[in-house]
Structure 1
């Protein structure tokens, strides 16, 4: 069985794979995502397509010139067709959460598997989430408790922690909210012999 590599810095993705019993190593893709996103948006790519483009770019960046399979993954937040990025500061996190409060948005979680110069498998899942109309007091307490951990999260929330209290409805898979469509990925990895059938 060839090596399996996760081309992501996301601790949530690594934890999901490890908890599922998948053996892998981590090598984050050294990509500047900002110009990739800007070019994709300039070409009229949707937030869902941008997630797919970034997952593919990350996987291929690590897969080139190495043996084995490489998992690339990315996630975008789509607020009525507008792509929101990870907030760079807690003030930006507050602004994002205020913009999302009481509204529905979508998370697009894309994953690819690459080998050498080719993407050999890909999928994307979309989850619809509706935030409740939480109070400013709750928002203050949330930002204080979660702190800078939110700066690594698109939408400034971690559903696996206190962020679950921000929501009134979620339609889609939990794993996709965490940034990895795990069930279809495991199905593919079983077919490749990386996970017991």
Structure 2
């Protein structure tokens, strides 16, 4: 997304214990957790490279009053998608910018995802086509792939669904003078 928007960047993986962050966070506050994970990641990298502008990001999925994690197997993905069939869930994409070891901005955006009442045959074809790559996605789908056929409607920003509240991030980078206005 950043590359497509013309933002130069390099990737550095933040070595953080996401489970520890989740353990201390209210599971009913999925949006807040997305921001907190983004903040922790941005700070972890910023402490190693204090002069850099560091963007941390994370995404959470709220469904049925709880927080949903990535599926550990295709069987778990199948069960989850069956449970979401004909229902809505919420994707929260959090982002945080850090500089000099301090958070200078953070935010979250939410998309409402309305899953259609798909057939078992479609679900099996989908799982076969997409394979274990789905296990890297919190909802067991990629909207930019065949997963788009799982939905009847999406309310919210496309970039938020992909995992980053891009417009607010770009606005903050412009406000901070990192990007041209």
Contact 1:65/1:116 (<8 A) preserved: no
Q: How does 1:1-197 map to 2 (within 5 A)?
A: 16-41=1-26, 46-66=29-49, 67-197=51-181
Root mean square deviation of aligned Cα: 1.2
TM-score (norm 2): 0.95
Q: Gaps spanning 5+ residues in structure 1: where?
A: 1-15
Give the Cα–Cα distance (whole angstroms) in 2 for the partners of residues 24 and 177 of structure 1. 21
Q: Which segments of structure 1 move beyond 3 Å, counting only runs of 4 or more?
A: none
**Alpha carbons 2:62, 2:68 under 8 Å: kept:** yes
CA deviations over 1:134-167 (Å, ceiling 9, x no partner): 0000000000000111011011000011110000
CA contact (8 A) 1:46 1:81 kept: no
Question: Higher helix fraction: Structure 1 or Structure 2?
Answer: 1
| Alpha-carbon distance in 1 for matches of 2:62, 2:83 | 12
1:193: Cα distance to partner?
A: 3.0
1:192 CA drift (Å): 2.6
Extract unaligned runs of 5+ from structure 2: none
TM-score w.r.t. length of structure 1? 0.88
- Partners in 1 of 2:28 and 2:85 — Cα distance? 26
Per-residue CA deviation, residues 80-127 of structure 1 (Å, 9 max, x unaligned), is: 320001111111111111111110100111000011231101110011
CA contact (8 A) 1:103 1:132 kept: yes
Determine if contact 2:28/2:65 at 8 Å carries over to the other structure.
no
Residue 144 of structure 2 aligns to a residue whose secondary structure is: coil
Work out the number of aligned pairs and report it: 180
Contact 2:28–2:67 (8 Å) recurs in 1: no
Verify the 8 A CA contact 1:71 1:113 in the aligned structure 2.
yes
